[in-house]
A = this chain, B = another copy of it.
Amino acid sequence: MSSQTKFKKDKEIIAEYEAQIKEIRTQLVEQFKCLEQQSESRLQLLQDLQEFFRRKAEIELEYSRSLEKLAERFSSKIRSSREHQFKKDQYLLSPVNCWYLVLHQTRRESRDHATLNDIFMNNVIVRLSQISEDVIRLFKKSKEIGLQMHEELLKVTNELYTVMKTYHMYHAESISAESKLKEAEKQEEKQFNKSGDLSMNLLRHEDRPQRRSSVKKIEKMKEKRQAKYSENKLKCTKARNDYLLNLAATNAAISKYYIHDVSDLIDCCDLGFHASLARTFRTYLSAEYNLETSRHEGLDVIENAVDNLDSRSDKHTVMDMCNQVFCPPLKFEFQPHMGDEVCQVSAQQPVQTELLMRYHQLQSRLATLKIENEEVRKTLDATMQTLQDMLTVEDFDVSDAFQHSRSTESVKSAASETYMSKINIAKRRANQQETEMFYFTKFKEYVNGSNLITKLQAKHDLLKQTLGEGERAECGTTSLLNITLCAFS
């Protein structure tokens, strides 16, 4: 029959079922492998991080020690040189102050990098090893729970297998009982047909007791088979119901496992991993950020000192330090000879005319000299301004050298930049020294001019005073000077 060929045989069903179970078991095993691999990757990561931070801590300590040594080398030099009196007050000078602050910053950096070492060794690494412990412990516990989940799944599928087999058995028995019943019914029918002929014969030839007992027998058998069939059919129905209910339960359990439990299992493995790792990274970040803040504070102190580099104030400090060397000497006094009672310029005749002449010569000479020297001073000022512009050019920004993102991996050399290229430096220095030379030439010229002016001015002023007094002594209403000035003009 065609319908017969469609039926799966018991063996086929069992084989299919077993294949399906095997597949699930394989998946469960693979899931554990995946979790294990994930845990192993984490342990590897944690180990790498520990190794990394251990080595980084070492590097920080080396760096810290080198900086400490560097600072100490110069600090001890300073301490020993301070024993000399002259050096003692050097720190009052602004460039020395900057230098001391650079050393101070070096010590600060040294301490901060030592602190970094301390935090990496005694905090970050400790945390990482604890997270490793946690990963191992949580994987173990999660696996325990996972195994229990898997056992539960297998128990459910085993139960399904059992109830399916039971259903198969009762259904087979039900079929067999049915066919037996059908056979009995056929026999009865056959007997009935026979006895129908017989009855007609009996009506004609009387009953036969043998045949009556045979019919009874067949009926009894049929009843028995009917009962057996009903019983088996009920059993089969119950078994099928059980199978169907278990099927639903099994599918629900498997579905729950794949949709929720596996995810929960991974959560168990993950428990706190990300949070603890985040705290570890944040400890590292906190250390690095704080190092940076400390560094920044120190740099700000230096920058402030650089802002306060002041040649004028330093000059006064130096002149104060060498006070007796720079204080002006006593004035030369007039030394009268042998009781000479005249101790002022005498402007009486016969020298008066000569002095007046001299005074006017001085006056006109001074006027010329002052104009000339003022010209020199203007040139000097302009040259100084040019020099100042050269000396204060803002050529110190090296931020280009730190551009990672914009440039490729290779860092530009700071020396290759325009502001520090050798040709540029040479040009700039040549230019600067030329200007400087010109400045000094002009400065000498100016000093000579002003020296001459100073001396002539002193004589001029003294003559003016003397001649003025001479005039006042004569009680004239018009100044002698004015008269002569008019006469000369």
Contact = CB atoms under 8 A, between A and B. Distances in A.
Contact of A247 (B17, B98, B327, B334): B334
A173 to B, nearest CB: 11
11 contacts: A13-B337, A30-B322, A49-B99, A49-B102, A126-B425, A148-B448, A248-B462, A267-B311, A270-B311, A285-B396, A294-B404
So how many copies of this chain end up in the complex?
Answer: 2
A447 interface: yes
Interface in A190-240: 234, 237-238, 240
Nearest to A244: B345
Interface string A242-280: 011111111111111011011110111011111111111
Given A49-B99, A411-B111, A458 B249 contact: yes
A339 interface: yes
Interface in A309-364: 309-311, 314-315, 318-319, 322, 324-335, 337-340, 342-346, 350-351, 355
A52 B23 contact: no
B451 A253 contact: yes
A241 B355 contact: yes
Interface residues of A, number: 209
Given A3-B339, A351-B238, A119 B271 contact: no
B326 A262 contact: yes
Contacts of A238: 351
Interface in A435-453: 436, 439-440, 443-444, 447-448, 450-451
A274 B338 contact: no
Contacts of A49: 99, 102
B443 A10 contact: no
A397 interface: yes
Given A274-B94, A274-B95, A294-B402, A253 B123 contact: no
Interface stretch (A181-189, A368-376, A387-395, A481-489): A387-395
A259 B99 contact: no
A340 B355 CA distance: 154
A106 B402 contact: no
Given A241-B355, A245-B459, A106 B56 contact: yes
A391 B272 CA distance: 6
A387 B271 contact: yes
A158 interface: no
Contacts of A95: 42, 45, 273-274, 277
Nearest to A55: B70
Nearest to A170: B337
Given A122-B413, A270-B311, A459-B249, A98 B243 contact: no
Contacts of A351: 234, 237-238, 241
Interface string A10-34: 1001001100100110010011001
Contacts of A136: none
Which of A152, A268, A402 lies at the interface centre, i.e. has the most chain B CB atoms within 10 A of its CB?
A402
B388 A275 contact: yes
Interface in A414-460: 414-415, 420, 425, 429, 432-433, 436, 439-440, 443-444, 447-448, 450-451, 454-459
A402 B4 contact: no
B455 A276 contact: no
A130 interface: yes
A292 interface: yes
A455 B249 CA distance: 4
A204 B397 CA distance: 120
A41 interface: yes
B244 A344 contact: yes
Contact of A245 (B152, B454, B463): B463
A163 B355 CA distance: 17
Interface in A105-155: 106, 108, 111-112, 114-115, 118-119, 121-123, 126, 130, 137-138, 141, 145, 148-149, 152
